[in-house]
Amino acid sequence: MKDLLKQKRLRHALILLFTLIIFTLPFLITNNYYLSVLVIIGIHTIVVVGLCLLMGYAGQISLGHAAFYGLGAYTSGILTSTYNVSPWLALLAGAVGTGIIAYLIGIPIFRLKEHYLALATLGFGLIIHVILMEEVELTGGPSGLSKGIPYLSIGSLVLNNDFKFYFLVWILALLALILANNVVHSRIGRALRSIHGSEFAAQSLGVDTGRHKLQVFALSAVYASVAGSLYAHYITFISPSPFGLMTSIQFVVMAVVGGLASIWGPIFGVSVITIMAESLKEFMPLLIPQAGGEYEIVVYGIILVVIMIFMPDGLTATLVKAYEGWRYRKERANETP
Amino acid sequence: MKLLEVTQLTKTFGGVHAVSDVSFSVSKGEIVAVIGPNGAGKTTLFNLMTGVYPPTQGNIYFNDTDITCLPTHKVASLGIARTFQNLQVFNNMTVLENVMVGRHIRSRTGLLGAVFPLWPVQVEESKIVESSLEKLALTGLADKAMEQANSLPYGQQKMLEIARAIALEPELLLLDEPAAGLNSSETRDLVDIIYTLRDQGITIILVEHDMETVMEITDRLVVLNFGNKLAEGTPYEIQNNQEVITAYLGEEGL
């Protein structure tokens, strides 16, 4: 009982420390480009936190999360620009709608497992992408929606620059993290982890594994949708290209790099991959003059393979283990002078 | 009063009759063993009773409810818990968390409550911890609560499976080879635990190869051979049953 409380306090202390760091950063960084990278990291973190609940805790894979991200972005974009709905209402509508869609498509596809499930989610992602491309009247087609997506505002405060938007995104990202943390340490979270541990045993204890998988799938879709809405109001222009297969894969890579079954993994994984992707954009053309965006996927592939082979628990867990090993050796060295 | 009744249960895999035309019943408060040589269909019988797969023929009644084709988690929620021949401990969780999963059907927090754990959720959570610690104390694992489940030695992992199963507060507990791999002192502890559970009103069916233990603790035995029920009776009757002796030792053994 005591250990349990101690663990809980440590968790809370870490979250508090991290919050402090996050909210002092924008005052130290004056370069707008760096700030915008941090905003994107925040948005992606929200998606990946949800994806980690699904992948790390429930042990189910999704190669279609960019579709939910896109559904959120387009719901917000279309409702606010074409129908003049309030942005916050549109964000909520996107979240609820995407959650329901995820739940409904989850009913048939969660009859599948592993590779088959991965393929089914990938197929769903492709379908949504095609719809975004082809429903020109609704979505603007390949050229997207460029007119009339407003900035978000809180009361009279319009979040029209990186500095202001940064705070909103990171408040929501931290909220996403805290809520996910709540789920992990709850009855539902334990049920999810038990599915990962042994689905057979979980069922024998009365855990309705199918239902819980569906619920967490829907929850992770809601996370992605909220992030998509934020993206739409941040960039104020949306086109289908950021919501394709490449982005879905990127999300999975971020989740795996950070480490699946850790609540800190997402922030870490997203930061590493986003910063790397941004640097690649700069350095790739210097190395290979004709290189375009398609070279990124090669790098993601290599990273994924290397991580899977050498750090199957992800970067976060590997670093924690390395630190514990270092501390252990140091203590040993102190004992035997 | 009959707690469980199995009638003419048959399960075929391809052409193989894993269980064929088996009938028996178990009364409240009994300790019953299912024994038989390897491949006799004991684990298949357990899997049928817990809804892992549906039988080809026959029916299973629990408290006069037909549970024949119910999915596993529904069977569990009616009050049938089990352990496994091959350990199915949740390796990714602590010992305490393993048992807490056992409280799943006795608690209610849904996804919304999990996301926003308000006061009632926290009260329920501490009740879950409390009763899980009780079960750990009963199985002698109280001081291991915070350890990672897979760090326990084999014998203790088997105890953990029992603690997890009884956390569900089952009416009927199915133990699949609980003594396999245990040393003699651990087996003693196991016997004590089984008696304690029986005294708490839990009916127990076990599959076991350790004949000494089986004969000591059971009220009745069901003997399977090649999927068929060979005999049924008290330990004394079974020990003196010619057919059973033949099945175990072969004709030449006599």
Residue A191 has pLDDT above 60, yes or no: yes
Check if B48 contacts A (Cβ < 8 Å). Answer: no
3-class secondary structure, A63:
coil
Q: Which residue in chain A has the smallest CA separation from B76?
A: A206
CA pair distance A226, A219, nearest whole angstrom? 11
Q: Would you call A182 and B110 a contact, using CB atoms and an 8 Å cutoff?
A: no
Domain borders along chain A are 31-242
Residue A27 has pLDDT above 70, yes or no: yes
Going by pLDDT thresholds of 50, 70 and 90, the confidence category of residue A113 is confident
Domain over B2-79+170-253 is classified CATH 3.90.550.10:
no
pLDDT computed for residue A142 by the predictor? 85
Q: Would you call B76 and A186 a contact, using CB atoms and an 8 Å cutoff?
A: no
Q: What is the mean pLDDT of residues A254-272?
A: 83
The DSSP bridge partners found for residue B232 are B222
Whole-number percent of chain A with pLDDT over 70 = 96
**Which of the residue ranges A102-106, A144-148, A234-238 would you say has the lowest mean pLDDT?**
A144-148
Going by pLDDT thresholds of 50, 70 and 90, the confidence category of residue B199 is very high
Which residues touch A231 (CB under 8 Å, ≥6 apart)? A43, A69, A72, A73, A238, A242
Q: What is the mean pLDDT of residues B9-38?
A: 91
Helices A162-184 and A265-287, packing angle to 10 deg: 130
ipTM for this model: 0.91
CA pair distance B53, B107, nearest whole angstrom? 27
Q: Is B135:B102 a contact under the CB 8 Å cutoff?
A: yes
pLDDT single digits (tens) A200-231: 999 999 999 889 999 999 999 999 999 999 99
Q: What is the mean pLDDT of residues A159-186?
A: 90
Q: Would you call A194 and B101 a contact, using CB atoms and an 8 Å cutoff?
A: yes
Check if B153 contacts A (Cβ < 8 Å). Answer: no
Average pLDDT in chain B: 91
Helices A87-109 and A114-134, packing angle to 10 deg: 140
Instruction: From chain A, pick out residues whose CB is under 8 angstroms from the CB of B76.
Output: 203-206
Check if B170 contacts A (Cβ < 8 Å). Answer: no
CA pair distance B108, B126, nearest whole angstrom? 13
**Chain region(s) in chain B for CATH 3.40.50.300:** 2-79+170-253
Q: What is the residue whose two structure tokens read 């190669």?
A: A63
Q: What is the mean pLDDT of residues B54-74?
A: 93
